[in-house]
Amino acid sequence: MGRLITKCNDPTVLYVSGGNTQFIAYSQNRYRIFGETIDIAIGNCLDRFARVLKLSNDPSPGYNIEKMAEKGKKFLHLPYTVKGTDVSCSGILSNIEKQAPHLISSKQYAPEDLCYSLQEAIFAMLVENTERAMSHCGSQEVLIVGGVGCNLRLQEMMNIMSEERGAKLYATDERFCIDNGAMIAQAGIEMFQSGTTTPWDLVTCTQRYRTDEVEVTWRS
């Protein structure tokens, strides 16, 4: 889907949503997971922090954090947990959840500052490991997909990183990032056109499909 919209060829993919945080590269008929979160997803981390601040779910908690973060100025040091090619988000969330009520009530930090600091820390982890994946695979393209991919600060950071290494960033917006129906349909068309079909009585539904379980028949 991302490749269809952005016309990129063979990108390193950052897949960031409420359920997933994965660094992906395509190799030999699989999307291989180069690294991922070892606990909660980045979108989950942002959503749960939005709940701590009692932010609205309209249009989405992540979007409201993004808007708040734009007004943030004061930077709070949070844990930074990069584990090789993987990242971890649960400790950061626990840390900021614990500190937030006190920091806000004592007026040391505004809620905006905390949104800003949280975004800066976790996005830096994402960009760093995307770069590590690109360096490991020798890739010159990067594609951001998934709901958190709508976040403009994440796109901006990724773009700076890409420019520094002479690579190109591809990103889409909320029309595509969060439309799972369209993504499934697009994957279905690709599979059908490459000759993969499933008899109707064998069709099942699973939410637990991992990215690297699917054999990719539509790319060489």
Binding positions for other proteins, rule: CB under 8 A: 17-20, 25, 27-28, 32-36, 38-39, 41, 43, 75, 77, 80, 82-86, 120-121, 124, 127-129, 131-132, 134-137, 146-147, 156-158, 160-161, 164-165, 180, 206-210
CB of 101 to other proteins, least distance (A): 23
CB of 182 to other proteins, least distance (A): 15
**How far apart are alpha carbons 124 and 56 in whole angstroms?**
25
| Residue among 78 and 100 whose Cβ is closer to other proteins | 78
| Residue among 101 and 184 whose Cβ is closer to other proteins | 184
Residues with Cβ within 8 Å of 40's Cβ and at least 6 positions away in sequence, in order, are 48, 89, 90, 93
CB of 131 to other proteins, least distance (A): 4
| Residue among 166 and 195 whose Cβ is closer to other proteins | 166
**How far apart are alpha carbons 79 and 91 in whole angstroms?**
7
Token readout for 146 is 């998934």
Token readout for 12 is 């390193």
**How far apart are alpha carbons 182 and 164 in whole angstroms?**
33
**How far apart are alpha carbons 27 and 167 in whole angstroms?**
19
Token readout for 178 is 């969060």
CB of 166 to other proteins, least distance (A): 9
| Residue among 167 and 199 whose Cβ is closer to other proteins | 167
**Is 17 in contact with 172 (CB distance < 8 Å)?**
no
**Is 24 in contact with 31 (CB distance < 8 Å)?**
yes
| Residue among 199 and 205 whose Cβ is closer to other proteins | 205
CB of 120 to other proteins, least distance (A): 4
